[in-house]
Amino acid sequence: MIGSIPGITTASTATLAAFGLISCSGWADGPDGSAAVRAAAAVTGGTVPKPVWRPCTGLPAPDQGVSQARYRCATLRVPLDHADPSSGTIGIALMKIPAKGPGRRIGSLLFNFGGPGGDGVDTLAQAAPQYATLNARYDLVGFDPRGVGRSAPVTCVDDRTMDQIAAEDDTPDTPAEETAYLARRASYARACEARSGRLLPHVGTLSAARDLDAIREAVGDPKLNYFGISYGTWLGGNYAHQFPGGVGRAVLDGAVDTRLNTADLGLQQAAGFQRALVDFGAACAKLGAKSCPLGGDGESVAAATGKILASLDRKPLKTSGGRKLTQSLGDTGAAAALYSKQAWPYLAQGLVDAVKRHDGTLLLMLADLQNGRKSSGAYANLTAANTAITCADGSDRYTVADVRRLMPAFRKASPVFGPSMAWGLLQCTGWPVKGDDAAREVSAPDAAPILVVGNTGDPATPYAWASALVKSLGGSAALLTLKGEGHGAYDTGDPCVRRVVDSYLLDGLLPAAGATCG
């Protein structure tokens, strides 16, 4: 994500639609005491306890005509520390949509929709119709990774404080602003340690991959069938490295190049968002000056967008709800709309509203969507989980001097989004957990063939990362390319991508080398 939540992003159109944490009775739980120790002993004794599936409660309301009657929910207990059974257990929230036929049931298909910090239960509940073809022969299974949503969530600050953090300046221009920015970062890290200190060392990808294998065993599958998007490709790749013999059919869509350090990830992501902004601008300009009074081509619209967002630093805009649209919120809202081509009209209208009506309501709604804020003012724990997992997954720790040194490169990569992403390099500075670079390892030459999918117009996980992940995985990993726009490929709805991916997951057929859609 960019702006107030730096990192890899929540993944898809589906994720953007399914934001906000809706409580589900009996699911949200953290590390417990003696009973958990006994349960952990049972887990590590070689048998993962079977989840007890019950009708779900508290899921997001479905679209009209969609029934959730078949949905089932459960909690799977896993060790807090997989290396230490005496650490107790945490609960991993699961949601299952049983295979409906026709055809022979293959097994379960586990989803991770991205993040890090994105939930899987609510997202699958809302996105399930997109995977109806796969649901014929797979039980679709969503889960909230450890530290996320209902699975022992990392907590740091209250909702009012989150409003302040999301709105405050994340591109400091003066010494006073810089001091305030650094103080806010340090205060946030202290709050996370105070509220979730025992959990923080155990929420990274290394532990989440082991949870994946526990879920695989719990649902009774000999191999893990998996669909990972964005950060979910990182998690899936690390699973393949740790458990190469456990890989069944795996799709990694919107790939991350885990070999890159945090600065290079950020630089390439900044360039990706800038490219997407120019592409949006070109589409907007084609509508004509009446519908898009921002410029006559992609570059001019992108430049105008940058000026509009930069002006918010001096003069935030009013919104219908009474909150102000600040520069950081404006940047986040604009970036949110670049995840999906379907959201481009909302960005265009939001920019026009800002210029002509001095109204930031629509851009603020987009920012809230990206930040996991519901209309009620309640936040999902997306920011907290994103930071905790990101900082657990690597040892990179940057200084203000690093930010200043790298700022010209970030500005060159994206005049609009680069500065906030450069300052975002300080996300893990002062974090109480050191981080483990082993989480970046995804080599799995002995695993079953894995299908990696990349979108040439992807802003958040640039296309080059897809071929890099294929190389890192090794073995028989294959690449499918979509010449399109937006984050990820399958959720764009492209019929060619869906046909190829479905054929692989349902029939085990990999595409030919160089396969391209669009």
pLDDT of residue 13: 47
Q: Tell me if the bond preceding 415 is cis, omega within 30° of 0.
A: no
Q: What domains can you pick out in the chain, each with its CATH number? A: 54-153+204-260+443-507 (3.40.50.1820), 157-198+261-440 (no CATH)
- In sequence order, the β-bridge partners of residue 139 are 108
pLDDT-derived band at 7, boundaries 50, 70, 90: very low
pLDDT of residue 42: 36
Q: How far apart are CA 206 and CA 439, in angstroms?
A: 5
Inter-residue contact 83 to 108 (CB < 8 Å)? no
Helix axes 298-311, 344-352, angle to 10 degrees: 60
Inter-residue contact 333 to 477 (CB < 8 Å)? no
Mean pLDDT across 134-138: 98
Q: How far apart are CA 465 and CA 454, in angstroms?
A: 8
Q: How far apart are CA 165 and CA 167, in angstroms?
A: 5
**Residue 205, pLDDT above cutoff 90:** yes
Nearest to 451 by CA among 236, 239, 244: 236
Residue 230 known to be catalytic = yes
Lookup: tokens for 187:
């205060």
Q: Which helix (H) or strand (E) holds 363?
A: helix 361-371
**Residue 182, pLDDT above cutoff 60:** yes
pLDDT of residue 341: 95
Catalytic residue among 458, 472, 491, 494: 458
Mean pLDDT across 496-508: 98
- Block residue for tokens 């805009």: 317
**Residue 26, pLDDT above cutoff 80:** no
What are the residues whose beta carbons fall under 8 Å from the beta carbon of 69, sequence distance 6 or more?
none
Structure letter (DSSP) for residue 35: H
**Residue 10, pLDDT above cutoff 90:** no
Catalytic residue among 230, 414, 420, 472: 230
Inter-residue contact 259 to 267 (CB < 8 Å)? no
Lookup: tokens for 340:
């999906």
**Residue 354, pLDDT above cutoff 80:** yes
**Residue 6, pLDDT above cutoff 50:** no
Mean pLDDT across 214-243: 98
84-129 tens-digit pLDDT: 989 999 999 999 999 999 999 999 999 999 999 999 999 999 999 9
pLDDT of residue 65: 86
**Residue % of the chain over a pLDDT of 70:** 91
pLDDT of residue 32: 39
pLDDT of residue 63: 86
pLDDT of residue 22: 25
Q: How far apart are CA 284 and CA 303, in angstroms?
A: 13
Inter-residue contact 123 to 18 (CB < 8 Å)? yes
Q: Tell me if the bond preceding 459 is cis, omega within 30° of 0.
A: no
Nearest to 73 by CA among 88, 91, 61, 48: 91
Mean pLDDT across 337-353: 97
Mean pLDDT across 292-304: 97
Lookup: tokens for 233:
């490709």
Mean pLDDT across 10-32: 37
Q: How far apart are CA 359 and CA 391, in angstroms?
A: 36
pLDDT of residue 46: 52
**Residue 430, pLDDT above cutoff 80:** yes
The count of other CB atoms within 10 Å of the CB of residue 410 is 24
Whole-angstrom CA distances from 490 to 127, 479, 496, 498 are 12, 13, 9, 6
pLDDT of residue 5: 33
pLDDT-derived band at 389, boundaries 50, 70, 90: very high
Q: How far apart are CA 216 and CA 219, in angstroms?
A: 5
pLDDT of residue 289: 94
Instruction: Kindly report the pTM of this predicted structure.
Output: 0.92
Q: Which helix (H) or strand (E) holds 97?
A: strand 84-97
Lookup: tokens for 462:
């640039």
Mean pLDDT for all residues in the chain:
91
Residue 82 known to be catalytic = no
